[in-house]
Amino acid sequence: MRAGSADGSGMAALTLSCRLAAHPDSRCWFVAWSPSGALLASCGGDRSVRVWGRQGENWVCQAVLGEGHQRTVRKVAWSLCGSYLASASFDATTCIWKKTPDGFECVTTLEGHENEVKSVAWSPSGSLLATCSRDKSVWIWEVDEEDEYECVSVLNSHTQDVKHVVWHPSQEVETTRDPSLTLACQLLASASYDDTVKLYREEEDDWVCFTTLEGHESTVWGLAFDGAGRRLASCSDDRTVRIWSSDEQGEPGVACSSTEPSWKCICTLSGYHTRTIYDVAWCRLTGAVATACGDDAIRVFEEEPLAEPQHPTFALTAHMSRAHAQDVNCVAWNPAEPGLLASCSDDGEVAFWRYQRPECC
């Protein structure tokens, strides 16, 4: 299967390399690459997490983590070191699995959310974990050297179900006005059924929501920072992707504190997706943006090189219209191998794709 760009320009292509019946008779909700890119974890409505490894050109199941949850597993996330996997479930718990020579072992179960946990993410520092839930809250957990987890903050900023959380890729958040004033803290973003994205950081030992990104007209399902952490992509039930930026260049006459980068929407991709966009992934290696859509398609966008940084434009470089037999729920770029993309769907399958960049980019 090959899919080129809509107008035939450029030489972009998305080709299928492997398809797996990962969660048969069920739906696959999410896939996540291990930090080395050697393993892919998937999770689904059959309440299990599966870990897949490469065997030649194929992917084979290396572990099934079936005993951790009583309901759907919605998302999985690998720790930075690759030794732990966290799984977020509709049973209101988050399991932490440790990789052992024999497979994976559940070392702890985090409880506290009132209902379904929708997302889990490890901070780049490795010492924090964030979870979010239909109970409208975002929880931040601290983990110590003895694998003990403690909730250090419960953030109730959203007014509805929180769908996704993602950490800023850096350990420190810089300002562009005065690079010497670096905020030595981590930044967290959350996406919600309340149509907003919120950003959080630690201020004087307490986590606070410091800004709300408004603009989407319906539920925000997914988030992805670019490699440098200067931009954030969000995708929504309103069938658009929005790109938000924290740069302040080109804003004459606006008085702001030099330690307060403000985020605003610098680009909206609309008219490409015909149904809800469930996930967006921004490749750290190539800058390509992939989307997972309820119209069964996977699309890839690349930033046009001659555009101004504050007014970027993105071109659609690949469109695989029947990537899956049903809604595509997740897309994930391999962190080590440029152009390798994994996806999963309501049809229970996981697919692997090779994205060939267009020659013009």
Partner 1 sequence: MQNFISLLTWKKMFLEMVVWLQSCGAFNYCGTNQWIPVIMPIAPYIIRTIRDPEKPNTLEELEVVTESCVEVHEINEEEYLVIIRFTPTVPHCSLATLIGLCLRIKLQRCLPFKHKLEIYISEGTHSTEEDINKQINDKERVAAAMENPNLREIVEQCVTEPD
Question: What is the sign, positive or negative, of the torsion defined by CA atoms of 213, 219, 225, 231?
Answer: negative
Minimum Å gap between C-beta 112 and partner 1 is: 18
Check binding of 44 to partner 1 (CB under 8 A): no
Token pair of 125, please? 């520092």
Q: Minimum Å distance from CB 327 to partner 1?
A: 7
Q: Is the dihedral of CA 253, 254, 258, 263 positive or negative?
A: negative
- The nearer residue to partner 1, 60 or 325, going by C-beta atoms, is 325
**Interface with partner 1 (CB under 8 A), residue from 58, 100, 182, 218:** 218
Identity of the residue numbered 86: A
C-alpha count within 13 angstroms, C-beta hemisphere, residue 175? 14
Binding mask 148-187 for partner 1 (x = CB under 8 A): -------------x-x------------------------
Cα–Cα distances in angstroms (integers) from residue 163 to residues 20, 70, 285, in the given order? 26, 20, 26
Spatial separation of the C-alpha atoms in residues 359 and 95, rounded to whole Å: 44
Task: Identify any residues that bridge with 122 across adjacent strands, giving them in sequence order.
Answer: 129
Q: Which of 87, 219, 291, 334 binds partner 1 (CB under 8 A)?
A: 219
With CB under 8 A as the contact rule, the residue among 22, 41, 45, 302 that binds partner 1 is 45
- List Cα–Cα distances, 248 to 176, 197, 212, 303, in angstroms: 7, 19, 17, 19
Choosing from 275, 310, 356, 361, the residue that interacts with partner 1 (CB under 8 A) is 275
CB of 317 to partner 1, least distance (A): 22
310-334 as b/e, with b when 16 or more CB fall inside 10 Å?
eeeebbbbbbbeebbeebbbbbbbb
* 74/99 with CB nearer partner 1: 74
In the complex, least distance from residue 315 CB atom to partner 1, rounded to whole angstroms? 24
Q: Find the shortest distance in angstroms from Cβ 168 to partner 1.
A: 25
For residue 184, count other CB atoms closer than 10 A to its CB: 8
Residues 68-97 interacting with partner 1 (rule: CB under 8 A) = 71-72, 74, 90
Closest by CA position to 208, among listed 282, 290, 138, 145: 138
Residue 210: other Cβ atoms inside 10 A: 16
End-to-end Cα, the chain, rounded Å: 23
Q: Of residues 284-323, which lie at the interface with partner 1 (CB under 8 A)?
A: 294-295
The answer to whether residue 116 forms part of the interface with partner 1 (CB under 8 A) is yes
Nearer of residues 256 and 325 to partner 1, judged by Cβ = 325
Residue 257 phi, psi (nearest 5): -65, 140
Instruction: By CB under 8 A, tell whether 347 contacts partner 1.
Output: no
State yes or no: residue 334 binds partner 1 (CB under 8 A).
no
Q: Is 193 in the site for partner 1 (CB under 8 A)?
A: yes
Beta strands 28-33 and 39-44, pairing class? antiparallel
* Residue closer to partner 1, measured from CB, 66 or 309: 66
> Shortest approach of partner 1 to residue 89 CB, angstroms?
10
- Of 219, 220, 235, whose CA–CA distance to 299 is shortest? 235
As measured in angstroms, the least distance from the Cβ of 90 to partner 1 is: 5
Total number of residues that touch partner 1 (CB under 8 A): 22
Toward partner 1, which CB reaches closer, 74 or 231?
74
Instruction: Give residues in contact with partner 1 (CB under 8 A).
Output: 27, 45, 71-72, 74, 90, 115-116, 118, 134, 161, 163, 193, 218-219, 237, 275, 294-295, 325, 327, 346
